[in-house]
Each structure stands twice: as C-alpha cells, then as structure tokens.
Amino acid sequence: MKHSLARARVDIDLGALQRNGAAMARRAGVPLLPMIKADAYGLGVEATVRALDTLEPWGYGIASVSEGEELRRLGVTRPVVVFTPLLEQDIARAR
C-alpha cells in the first residue's frame, strides 16, 4: 500500500457556518452562545468570530482566561463565558 506524503487540507466555509448558526438561532428562539474554544475547534478564532458576530450572538463560550484575552484583543465586546473552573491566579485576569 502506498502512502501519500501530501499534507492534509481543510477548506472552511464561513458562509455555511453563518447559515448553520442562523438556523440554530431560529430554532432556539434565543440569542446564541457559540463555543469557540481551542481556536474555534481549529477553524480559526478570528475568522469564526467575525462570521458569527453577524448573527448577533449573546456572547461567546471559551475554555480559558487566555482565550478571553484573545477575544478582547480582537475587539470582541460581547460577554465571554469561561466554561472551566478558574484557577486562583486567573481571577484578576478574568475580571
């Protein structure tokens, strides 16, 4: 069996992300809180936030304070919810 040494490639369709998010928001009937932890699950946090922000979500869910800091550096002003326990040394940064 031959193995390819070519790298894997992923095409991200941000339009599909927006359409799927809009469909979910319609069905839920409430503003979304998209989880964008871990670099938006590998999709790229900046592009993902820009695409989802058009849907006017309530806020964004993340896993760590440093991810929240990244969102603030990107200019995100919506609420950010950390979905993991905060370490004592992270409390001041979280505020």
> What number is the average pLDDT over the span 4-8?
75
Distance (Å, whole) CA 14 – CA 93: 31
The per-residue pLDDT for range 17-34, each reduced to its tens digit, is 999 999 999 999 999 999
CA of residue 45 relative to chain centroid, distance: 5
Query: With bands split at pLDDT 50, 70 and 90, how would you rate the model's confidence at 1?
Result: low
pTM (2 decimals)?
0.85
Token readout for 31 is: 């503003």
Domain boundaries, the chain: 14-94
Question: Does residue 91 register a pLDDT over 70?
Answer: yes
Enter the tokens of residue 75: 């200019």
Q: What architecture (CATH level 2) is domain 14-94?
A: Alpha-Beta Barrel (3.20)
